[in-house]
Structure 1
């Protein structure tokens, strides 16, 4: 399912001799995406695709990618995750840069982002299923005391009394801070487990139309019409955020993009509000960006049991240095920014590009266009 997005309308355009030149600079071999690429080329016979493999798996090759200048000089569309040409003047024909990432915060200081008006699109919407599974998995690992049970298994010890302290999820409340595609799939799964869901967004969503998801949606997932949350909170000010955090949350899922306004959005005061609202302890799950949480304040909140624990797929910085105290913070589970990974990632990302190729051909609004002023 794909809903109409809010990007600019783009007239039908073609490159030299009626062809559209697509340059892909991606961190996996072309053969990984052969099936979907062939489908796209069959649908768009005038599309000429050039593929450059950016090997990000080999640390020695990072930042050493060399893309022939003649490829990006005649490109009409660029598909990439991290690589960009040095500036907009060297890509005179480019009318869309399709990032195969959920956000664009990693390029906000690049001249193309700051000094050009080239439309930038993301693949927001493809990460919901796998990240929602990670969020629920980590929360269950915590609540079912699985780490302790696994240690018992390694010691070949049988201690059935451990399970008596487990509280199932029915009737518990999850607060989703940032109700985009990822948050909506978390909501869908949490609701299926019997949890109450409340949502928080920067802007108000007072009407049914305003609550709809207008981005890319993996079929059969998410909350397309925004009907799952029992309550909806909003605002860019601290009092509004605190009102949301006061709702006795058992699980807080952080899904907001990293911007100037969201940097250290959760700090000492916010952890105090969570503790006052739920003395049993809120479990904090961050799958967004590490800098959204004030990390020293988080460590203190864990050490003083202001919150019951944390699951972090993102940290500040990344990679997290071995000497960082976060590694040894109590009740803290850390994974190396992998919650968005899935074997079908490239296929779904190309589906977003395919939809934008259709919209470009038909002169319609492009999908997932970045608002440079908002930062996402």
Structure 2
């Protein structure tokens, strides 16, 4: 299991602990993961409620969680549902979110007015999102869209597939070197690319560069050794120094906070163009608001960047009349890059790890720092 060194098990959970799972997946999809937790915690009572308000099938509808369950629950596993206040669930000692971030609940009273530990599923999205990033970059670099359009017209347009750029020697700038960025780096290095990392705070020592979050085994950059250089800061000066490095592929993977809202706007796109006249390709898998969308459209139209791959937009869903749809050299997907058939299984692994750490009195993995916002 990911998440670092195995912790010693001291004692067990108290009798009568209740894990309440309010999740959008069908119960049968989660049974094996729940069984693994029950094997490790035989005295733990588990109740599963399907949150059909977040379901992606025909069963979509409001979720009804019995009051007596969340009044008794000690641990809550959820994607988005929460009791109205902390006092409504007086026994809750841990809330495990099955999402990568917590920005969707940062105005909720449990976030603002309680000290209940909140943890996320950060770390489980690296493999599938890294594949999305590389896929989109290859589609763009190998002119696949143009060739597919030719295929639909039954044209043998060989010339359209000639002017391509392979990955060797290109530079990838990862803005937000967390679990997703680290897996992008791993794949990019395997393809012969140079990697630059950008983090909110400086990482001057080997220990500071380590990934202390949940890690899908065999993925990522656990010791932080892949980047050839690191940049940092939540100020424009640090960001601009990073963007001056002639980046060919810019991967945006920062959490959405007050500081990162419109982190990339007109000045940043102009700087990218100045440092790389061939054009930086921008891939955003964080949140749409990190980019000033109007400035992005202008940058695409002015060819300040070579293109953009966007799995997130501002707003979502993107209205059908939004000009972003018709911007040149843009590829848009409907916030699906993190989807995977292994999603719920990996998220339960994070929960399982935190239950073990809670039992051992250890530090939780992926605990949210409410002041930082992630």
Q: Fold match, TM over 0.5?
A: yes
In structure 1, the residue matched to 2:211 is: 213
For 2:142, the equivalent position in structure 1 comes to: 144
- Partners of 1:218 and 1:100 lie apart in 2 by 15
Q: State the Cα distance separating 1:37 from its structure 2 match.
A: 1.1
Deviates more, 1:97-106 or 1:55-64: 55-64
Contact kept, 8 Å, 1:252 with 1:284, in 2: the verdict is: yes
Which residue of 2 is the match for residue 20 of structure 1? 17
Aligned residue number for residue 338 of structure 1: 336
Alpha carbons 2:234, 2:260 under 8 Å: kept: no
Please name the residue that 2:84 is paired with.
86
Once residues 191 and 259 of structure 2 are traced to their aligned partners in structure 1, the CA distance between those partners, rounded to angstroms, is 33
Report if the CA contact (8 A) 1:4-1:365 is conserved.
Answer: no
The answer to whether the Cα contact below 8 Å between 1:27 and 1:53 also exists between their aligned partners in 2 is: yes
1:43 to partner: Cα distance: 1.1
Please state whether the residue corresponding to 1:217 is helix, strand or coil. Answer: coil
Offset, 1:61: 7.4
Shift of 1:160: 1.2
Q: Does 1:32 align with 2:29?
A: yes
Question: Does the C-alpha gap of structure 1 residues 266 and 62 become closer, same or farther in structure 2, counting only changes over 3 Å?
Answer: farther
- The answer on whether the counterparts of 2:13 and 2:41 sit within 8 Å (CA) in structure 1 is no
Partner SS state of residue 157, structure 1? coil
Counterparts of 1:259-298 in structure 2 under 5 Å? 259-298=257-296
Question: Residues of 2 paired with 1:165 and 1:14: CA distance?
Answer: 62
CA distance in structure 2 between the aligned counterparts of 1:87 and 1:309, rounded to whole angstroms? 44
Q: Which runs of 5+ in 1 are unaligned?
A: 6-10
The farther-off stretch of 59-68 and 308-317 is 59-68
- How far 1:204 sits from its partner (Å)? 0.4
Q: What corresponds to 1:354 in structure 2?
A: 352
For 1:45, which of 35, 42, 45 is the aligned residue?
Answer: 42
Distance in 2 between residues matched to 1:354 and 1:136, nearest whole Å: 31
Q: 1:180 — aligned with what?
A: 178
- Look up the match of 1:2: 2
Q: How does 1:43-82 map to 2 (within 5 A)?
A: 43-55=40-52, 56-57=54-55, 64-82=62-80
- Cα distance in 2 between the residues matched to 1:134 and 1:194: 18
SS of the residue aligned with 1:165?
coil
- SS of residue in 1 equivalent to 2:162: helix
Aligned length: 369
Report the equivalent of 1:311: 309
Instruction: Give the C-alpha shift of residue 293 in structure 1.
Output: 0.2
Give 1:8's aligned residue: none
CA distance 1:59–1:325, shift in 2 (3 Å): farther
Q: 2:369 aligns with which of 368, 371, 375?
A: 371
| Aligned ranges 1:168-207 → 2 under 5 Å | 168-207=166-205
SS at match of 1:183: helix
- Of the two structures, which has the highest relative contact order with CA contacts closer than 8 Å and spacing of 6 or more? 1
Deviations 1:216-260 (A, max 9, x none): 000000000000000111112111100000000000000000000
* Distance (whole Å) between structure 2 residues aligned to residue 144 and residue 226 of structure 1: 30
Cα drift, residue 161 of structure 1 = 1.5
Give the direction of change, closer, same or farther, for the CA distance of 1:62–1:111 in structure 2 (3 Å limit).
farther
Question: Secondary structure of 1:218's partner?
Answer: coil
Equivalent of residue 167 in structure 1, options 143, 157, 165? 165
Counterpart Cα distance in 1 of 2:97 and 2:157: 49
Q: CA RMSD in A?
A: 1.5
TM-aligned CA distance change 1:13 to 1:41, over 3 Å: closer
Contact 1:12 1:363 in 2 (8 A): no
- Any stretches of 5+ residues in structure 2 without a counterpart? none
What is the match of residue 251 of structure 2?
253
CA contact (8 A) 2:72 2:91 kept: yes
Distance 1:126 1:162 in 2: 37
Task: Note if contact 2:262-2:291 (Cα within 8 Å) is conserved in structure 1.
Answer: yes
Per the normalisation by structure 1, the TM-score is 0.96
Tell me the CA shift for residue 60 of structure 1.
Answer: 9.2
